[in-house]
Amino acid sequence: MTSSRKREFQSDVLAGIRVAIPLALAVFGFGVSFGVVARSAHFGLLAPLVMSATTFAGSAQFAAVSVVGTGGGVAAAIVAASLLNSRYLPIGISLAPAITGRTPRRLLEAQLVVDESWAVSHLGGGRFSEGRLVGAGLLLYVGWLAGTVVGLLGARLLGDPNRFGLDVVSPVLFLGLLRGQITNRRAALSAVLGAAIALVLVPFTSPGVPLIAASVACLLGLVRT
């Protein structure tokens, strides 16, 4: 990396951190709920913490722990988590041009990808910033881990985290991110269509399938105007 590209990367990292501060607080809240749920699913203290540190994918972790906790078995938990994580395949492909360097570094940076860091790194028009991904991803990672610890340790005091409305933290956060992503009518149409496809499929499919099916709406990008 030349020194000017290095400086640009560093300022992108800082920009990513700055934008992600409110998101990290919300992700912290989501982490607290995960910690509480993992505790009530009898996962102990260390296993959920290791999971948050190595998996770093809220919805998949939530689903896996809930399935095992309600006696659904490990196999069903893995299927649920895989389906929920399947959106990271197209997301990873969308980011690929922006993620440079040697293979181990690309693999490591890819692990910082969550919905929020991905949205923050989107510069518009399908282009992404590597620096913003790294900055936002690292801060969100810290928020997620810290939230998990608080949830695990405070589970008994907190009781049901939904009592505090924590289950709307993540969707309202996504709504705030969505506001910045609707840049034209086509994006708005694709968003409405994606939500509709997902809701229509919910009664008939496993969790996660509606999400990956919703991405079909993006083919609107091929329609000429």
Looking at residues 139 to 168 of the shown chain, list those that interact with other proteins (rule: CB under 8 A).
Answer: 162-168
Pairing of strands 122-124, 127-128: antiparallel
Contact 32, 147 (CB under 8 A): yes
Instruction: Report the residue count for the chain.
Output: 225
Q: Site mask, other proteins, residues 190-219, x = CB under 8 A?
A: xxxxxxxxxx--xxx--x--xx--xx-xxx
Name which position in 1, 5, 42, 70 contacts other proteins (CB under 8 A). Answer: 42
Contact 136, 121 (CB under 8 A): yes
Name the residue among 181, 135, 140 with its Cα closest to residue 15.
135
- CB atoms < 10 A from the CB of 68, how many? 19
Closer to other proteins by CB, 10 or 172: give it.
Answer: 172
Name which position in 34, 118, 141, 144 contacts other proteins (CB under 8 A). Answer: 118
**CB 4 to other proteins: min, Å:** 19
Name which position in 11, 111, 153, 159 contacts other proteins (CB under 8 A). Answer: 111
Residue 23 interacts with other proteins (CB under 8 A): yes or no: yes
Q: What angle do CA 14, 16, 19 make, to 5 degrees?
A: 110
Residue 1 interacts with other proteins (CB under 8 A): yes or no: no
Query: Could you tell me the CA-to-CA distances from 130 to 77, 104, 118 in Å, in that order?
Result: 32, 15, 10
Which of the stretches 7-15, 62-70, 138-146, 148-156 binds other proteins when contact is defined by CB under 8 A?
62-70
Name the residue among 14, 221, 36, 22 with its Cα closest to residue 133.
14
**CB 151 to other proteins: min, Å:** 15
Closer to other proteins by CB, 3 or 204: give it.
Answer: 204
Name which position in 7, 14, 92, 159 contacts other proteins (CB under 8 A). Answer: 92
